Amino acid sequence: MKKIIQKIFLLFLLLSTVFSLVSCASWLMPYSSSLGCRKDPASGYCGSVSQVYKQSFIDQAKVQNQ
């Protein structure tokens, strides 16, 4: 009987720990979860890192040709 109570207690402890970690995930994560690109309407570029990197060379070439 004592082993059953110990197993139930350990299961409860495990479940409460998992629940605490899952419910506090937003508190533990230092970054916001919004995926929208926020940029100034007059300037800026939204895209992946590789797209922005390529675009920077295109913009630089345009400036040099002017």
Residue 61 domain-assigned (yes or no): no
Q: What is the pLDDT of residue 18?
A: 85
pLDDT in tens, the chain (66 residues): 888 999 999 999 999 888 877 776 666 666 666 656 776 666 677 778 888 889 889 888 888 887
Residue 8 domain-assigned (yes or no): yes
Token couple for 47? 């895209």
Q: What is the pLDDT of residue 25?
A: 65
Residue 64 domain-assigned (yes or no): no
Domain count, the chain: 1
Segments forming the whole domain that contains residue 10: 1-27
Q: What is the pLDDT of residue 56?
A: 86
Residue 35 domain-assigned (yes or no): no
43-64 burial string, b = 16+ CB within 10 Å, else e?
eeeeeeeeeeeeeeeeeeeeee
Residue 55 domain-assigned (yes or no): no
Residue 59 domain-assigned (yes or no): no
Residue 12 domain-assigned (yes or no): yes
Q: What is the pLDDT of residue 23?
A: 72
